[in-house]
């Protein structure tokens, strides 16, 4: 039995990137032997084991042969006769097919180190096209490593296009699509992920709602002075911008939709072939549901796109409408949303100013956060002493908040 370190740990070490996980391959063994050595089996499709002390993953060397559609239908051989080279050959990219033995010696049968030096993402063999998930994985690696100058080999891109044209990616589950997309949204350049998927023709299939949004005919009829590019370019540019400001997947996704939401008005009856805001919201909801996005992400996205115009002009809004908004989003129990919304709006305004070469001025000034701090703590004891009960208490608190905000505005307490 021989054990080798493989994959991402070697790749990241070479590139001086953080090594968060270590994966190991075992050659010349069986599940029974590993179980006797106190390894815990966790794999269902093929034997994956957790080390009894380190809890790191150890897999038996295996080969895979496609037997159906999608990324699950493979005949797997993990017998003790499978060699290290055979195991490495089944992997997606050459830079992920490097192994290291217990003495520190590297085994690199597919020139992965050469491709690391040349900054190229290259497939290992024609079997690359058997797994549709690799389209998303390569796009994710491109997003993760583009800041280091990595690019996709042209023949690998052709294979990715072949996979798409074969319609194999239709067999990917929504959870798998989201998992890869979530990982891509955590990278240095998440916009590269979407751009690569556009280039290999996968984007309209994987994200039909987003594709319809960025290809709407709306801009043929209306134009905004602050939109110097198409909505597709806006998607890439805005994602690149927010990625430099914040690494939260939730905020990055919400910002992506925020930047496109402003270009879909509530009503455009006189214009044919347009997309109004209600249809836009419907598409965004479908996007969230189809990919099974976490509830907290979905809620923030819908709050920000439904109230975009209101939030952009909040300083001009009445006290009652502001308090009603805070009630609607349940700000009193979820104050974190206030900080998130403020960050998104301020980032968007800076983005617009930057892309139109307008000198940035101090605007918005954390207005929503200031309002919240003023009205978030009503005098509950005083209200209860007045004998209010049930709904009367809620109405009294609401009235106090509106009056308090009105008084603050009248006194012009805006030095914040």
Residue numbering of the annotated binding site for Mg(2+):
21, 23
Token pair recorded at residue 309: 């115009």
3-class state of residue 51 by DSSP: coil
Q: Residues within the annotated binding site for ATP?
A: 8, 11, 91, 137, 140
Q: Residues within the annotated binding site?
A: 8, 11, 21, 23, 91, 137, 140
- From CA 87, how far away is CA 62, in angstroms rounded? 5
Q: Residues within the annotated binding site for CTP?
A: 8, 11, 91, 137, 140
3-class state of residue 49 by DSSP: strand
Collect contacts of 164-171 with beta carbons under 8 A, ≥24 apart: 164/135, 164/200, 164/201, 164/202, 164/205, 165/201, 166/129, 168/69, 168/70, 168/132, 169/132, 169/135, 169/202, 169/205, 169/206, 170/205, 171/69, 171/70, 171/71, 171/132
- HEC string of 323-348 equals HHHHHHCCCCCCCHHHHHHHHHHHHH
β-bridge partners, 6? 23, 99
Token pair recorded at residue 397: 């608190």
**DSSP H helical segments within 6-68, as ranges?**
8-14, 31-36
**DSSP H helical segments within 38-153, as ranges?**
84-89, 112-118, 133-145
- From CA 47, how far away is CA 89, in angstroms rounded? 18
3-class state of residue 35 by DSSP: helix
Q: What phi and psi, each to the nearest 5 degrees, are found at residue 75? A: -85, 125
Please say whether the beta carbons of 65 and 75 come within 8 A.
Answer: yes
């Amino acid at each position: 039995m021989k054990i080798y370190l493989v994959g991402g740990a070697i790749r990241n070490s070479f590139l001086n990137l953080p090594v968060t996980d270590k994966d190991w391959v075992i050659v010349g063994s069986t599940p029974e032997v590993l179980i006797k050595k106190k390894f815990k089996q966790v794999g269902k499709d093929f034997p994956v084991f957790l080390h009894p002390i380190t809890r790191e993953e150890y897999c038996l060397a295996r080969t895979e042969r496609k037997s159906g559609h999608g990324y699950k239908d493979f005949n797997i051989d993990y017998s003790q006769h499978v060699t290290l080279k055979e195991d490495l050959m089944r992997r997606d990219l050459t830079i992920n097919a490097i192994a290291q033995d217990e003495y520190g010696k590297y085994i690199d049968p597919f020139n992965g180190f050469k491709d690391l030096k040349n900054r190229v993402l290259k497939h290992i063999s024609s079997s690359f096209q058997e797994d549709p998930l690799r389209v998303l994985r390569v796009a994710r690696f491109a997003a993760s490593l583009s800041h280091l100058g990595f690019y996709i080999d042209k023949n690998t891109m052709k294979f990715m296009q072949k996979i798409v044209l074969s319609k194999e990616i239709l067999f990917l589950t929504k959870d798998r699509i989201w998992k890869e997309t979530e990982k891509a949204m955590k990278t240095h350049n998440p916009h590269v992920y979407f751009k690569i998927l556009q280039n290999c023709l996968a984007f309209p299939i994987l994200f039909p709602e987003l594709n319809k949004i960025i290809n709407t005919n709306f801009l043929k009829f209306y134009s905004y002075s602050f939109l110097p590019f198409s909505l597709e370019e806006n998607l890439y540019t805005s994602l690149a911008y927010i990625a430099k400001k914040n690494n939260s997947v939730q905020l990055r996704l919400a910002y992506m939709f925020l930047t496109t939401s402003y270009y879909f008005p509530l009503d455009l009856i006189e214009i044919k072939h347009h997309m109004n805001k209600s249809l836009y919201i419907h598409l965004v909801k479908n996007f969230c549901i189809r990919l099974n996005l976490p509830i907290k992400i979905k809620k923030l996205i819908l709050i920000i796109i439904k109230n975009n115009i209101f939030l952009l002009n909040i300083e001009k809004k009445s006290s009652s409408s502001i308090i009603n908004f805070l009630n609607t989003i349940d700000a009193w129990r979820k104050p974190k949303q206030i900080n998130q919304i403020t960050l998104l709006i301020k980032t968007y305004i800076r983005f617009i100013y930057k892309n139109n070469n307008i000198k940035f001025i101090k605007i918005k000034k954390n207005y929503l956060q200031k309002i919240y701090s003023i009205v978030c703590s009503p005098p509950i004891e005083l209200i209860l002493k007045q004998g209010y009960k049930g709904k009367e208490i809620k109405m009294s608190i609401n009235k106090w908040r509106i009056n308090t905000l009105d008084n603050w505005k009248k006194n012009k307490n805006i030095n914040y």
